[in-house]
């Protein structure tokens, strides 16, 4: 027995499985992440988030279940060291100080720290303008490190550190004039600008930085799998699809439009919310998606008339309205019930596509007609693109403006940029409503 104990002391690795072996043996991998709008949250009882979707794809890659834990920001790497999780996937910047505590994957996304201010705070336009200013950031972040480096170079900045406060919350505080300045990574800043149109992304605080996943020190086998996973999903388009799901069109910012949208959510939407929810339930849609469609069509105005003469809150054409039994375009209930029924019919027609692409195809059909979408799908196939992918249709639909492409189609010319704009605006409006539901 003493010999056996002596053997275990000399060769401890023989008694302990590495993380990858333990994951495969248990059939489960534990993700340590943050409960916020870009890492992990639940919506309609379904787990979501950019980091969550990446981790779910990784668990599928390994053939195991995914478990999620959300410790405080300051505890992420400590919990990893203590074996409370296998990976940290939390949009964490790779820094030398963190690499002393954990091993990091290759970069899967580059970001840039940005100073965020209120739109009325126009005096802050470059780093020198931070002289004498107070900047708020979460403790233990790369933002804190960067600001302290500027202090050491002689810039007089007052840094206020917040314990475990999400960057999104600090952005809200800027929007509501509770604080003046914060720092946020570019992806978080761009995404939250649509939720808080009063903020401005003032200027970058430094060079681009890399985000990586962390594993415990010495877990070479698991780290190798993580790196191979990211190589695979970047090559096969999975990464782009997940990124697009959460960050689609974040670079596009129309202050006037978004400001008006937020106002009308409060002022006009409540009047029609009950009807929208009723129609959505009947046709198995998220009511917030339907509200986004209605806003894009009419800005929640039952008296709206388009430049083509189409009337009503859901802008049904005369032929479609008659087919659906809608005899009064300006009656909100008739128009909404008919319009959602029509959208369901279009949705059923694109049965070869999977959500969310399927609903995007249906929305494009709602805008320009199913026939033009079918024509675009055919062109996509001819070009070797996936005809059931919205990213493919975004490329192909605009081609229907050109005779070279539409002359051989069944339904002919189409202003193909319009359905692309239509769908992507709805996606933005829908994202804002969803975000309010999980705030």
Decide if pLDDT at 379 tops 60: yes
Global pTM value: 0.82
Q: Is the pLDDT reported for residue 160 higher than 70?
A: yes
User: 253: pLDDT confidence band, cut at 50, 70 and 90?
Assistant: confident
**Would you state the pLDDT for residue 11?**
43
288: number of Cβ within 10 Å: 23
Q: How far is CA 373 from CA 296, 316, 393, in A?
A: 19, 18, 8
- Lowest pLDDT segment from 6-15, 62-71, 93-102: 6-15
d(CA 405, CA 414): 10
Query: Residue 8 has what pLDDT?
Result: 44
Q: What is the pLDDT of residues 32-65, one digit of tens each?
A: 999 988 899 988 778 989 999 999 999 999 999 9
pLDDT given for residue 254 in this prediction? 87
CB 271 within 8 A of CB 298: no
d(CA 286, CA 154): 53
Where do the domains of the chain lie, and which CATH numbers do they carry?
2-108+212-247 (3.40.190.10), 113-207 (3.40.190.10), 255-438 (1.10.530.10)
Instruction: To the nearest 10°, report the CA torsion of 206, 211, 215, 217.
Output: -30
> Residue 13's pLDDT is what?
42
pLDDT tens readout for residues 190-242: 999 999 999 999 999 989 999 999 999 999 999 999 999 999 999 999 999 99
Give the pLDDT mean for 84-92: 97
pLDDT higher than threshold 80 for residue 307 = no
Contacts 24+ apart (CB under 8 A), 375-382: 375/400, 375/406, 375/409, 375/410, 375/411, 375/414, 376/400, 376/416, 378/409, 379/405, 379/409
pLDDT tens sequence across 67-84: 999 999 999 999 999 999
Q: Which residues are catalytic?
A: 297
The DSSP string of 240-266 is HHHHHHHHTTTT---HHHHHHHHHHHH
């Amino acid at each position: 027995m003493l010999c056996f104990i002596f053997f275990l002391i000399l060769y401890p690795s023989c008694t302990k499985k590495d993380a990858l072996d333990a994951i495969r043996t248990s059939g489960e991998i534990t993700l340590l992440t943050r409960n916020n709008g870009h890492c992990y949250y639940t919506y309609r009882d379904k787990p979501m988030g950019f980091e969550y979707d990446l981790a779910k794809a990784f668990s599928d890659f390994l053939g195991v279940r995914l478990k999620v834990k959300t410790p405080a920001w300051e505890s992420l790497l400590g919990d990893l060291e203590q074996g409370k999780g296998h990976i940290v996937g939390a949009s964490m910047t790779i820094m030398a100080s963190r690499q002393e505590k954990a091993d990091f994957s290759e970069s899967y996304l580059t970001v840039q720290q940005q100073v965020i201010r209120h739109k009325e705070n126009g005096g802050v336009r470059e780093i020198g303008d931070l002289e004498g200013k107070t900047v708020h950031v979460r403790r233990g972040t790369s933002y804190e490190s960067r600001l302290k480096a500027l202090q050491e170079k002689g810039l007089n900045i007052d840094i206020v550190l917040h314990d475990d406060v999400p960057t999104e919350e600090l952005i809200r505080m800027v929007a509501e004039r509770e604080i003046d300045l914060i720092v946020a990574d570019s992806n978080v800043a761009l995404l939250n600008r649509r939720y808080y149109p009063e903020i401005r992304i003032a200027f970058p605080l430094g060079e681009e930085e890399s985000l990586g996943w962390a594993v415990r020190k010495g877990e070479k086998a698991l780290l190798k799998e993580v790196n191979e996973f990211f190589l695979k999903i970047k090559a096969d388009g999975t990464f782009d699809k997940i990124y697009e799901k959460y960050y689609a069109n974040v670079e596009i910012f129309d202050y006037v439009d978004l400001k008006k949208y937020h106002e009308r959510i409060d002022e006009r939407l409540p009047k029609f919310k009950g009807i929208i929810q009723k129609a959505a339930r009947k046709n198995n849609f998220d009511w917030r998606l339907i509200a986004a469609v209605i806003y894009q069509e009419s800005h929640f105005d039952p008296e709206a008339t388009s430049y083509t003469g189409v009337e009503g809150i859901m802008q049904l054409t005369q032929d479609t309205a008659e087919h659906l039994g809608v005899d009064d375009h300006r009656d909100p209930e008739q128009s909404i019930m008919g319009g959602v029924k029509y959208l369901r019919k279009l949705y059923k027609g694109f049965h070869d596509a999977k959500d969310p692409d399927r609903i995007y195809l249906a929305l494009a059909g709602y805008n320009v007609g199913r026939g033009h979408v079918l024509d675009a799908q055919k062109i996509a196939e001819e070009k070797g693109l996936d005809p059931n992918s919205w990213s493919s249709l975004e490329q192909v639909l605009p081609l229907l403006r050109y005779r070279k492409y539409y002359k051989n189609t069944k339904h002919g010319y189409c202003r193909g940029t319009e359905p692309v704009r239509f769908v992507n605006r709805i996606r933005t409006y829908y994202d804002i409503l969803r975000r309010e539901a999980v705030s």
